């Protein structure tokens, strides 16, 4: 006849100091990864608008400078 064994341990049972530190570092690395992904997405979304805005400011300043010189 076969033997069948069942064991149960609740969550956190037997968790020592090292296990708590490992869990904390794992959570921190996950949070850091998600934050970095969000930062990359933010830069990818804002960069084209910043380039467009900078180009417009440069064009307006250049045109103002050009037409002021012709008036003098």
For the chain, the domains span: 48-72
**44 or 5, which is more confident?**
44
**Average pLDDT value over all residues in the chain:** 87
E strands present in the chain: none
With cut-offs at 50, 70 and 90, classify the pLDDT of residue 38: very high
Per-residue model confidence as pLDDT tens digits over 6-34:
888 777 656 677 888 888 888 898 899 99
The predicted model scores a pTM of: 0.54
- What pLDDT is recorded for position 12? 61
Alpha-carbon gap, residue 64 to 58, rounded angstroms: 10
Nearest to 20 by CA among 10, 32, 9, 12: 12
Residues making up the chain, counted from first to last? 72
Q: How far apart are the first and last CA of the chain?
A: 109
Give pairs for 19-22: CB < 8 Å, separation 24+.
none
- What pLDDT is recorded for position 26? 87
């Amino acid at each position: 006849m076969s033997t069948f064994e069942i064991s149960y341990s609740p969550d956190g049972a037997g968790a020592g100091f090292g296990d708590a530190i490992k869990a904390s570092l794992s959570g921190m690395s996950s949070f850091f990864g998600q934050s970095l992904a969000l930062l990359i997405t933010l830069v990818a979304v804002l960069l084209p608008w910043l380039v467009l805005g900078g180009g417009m400011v440069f064009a307006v300043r250049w045109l103002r400078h050009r037409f002021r010189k012709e008036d003098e």
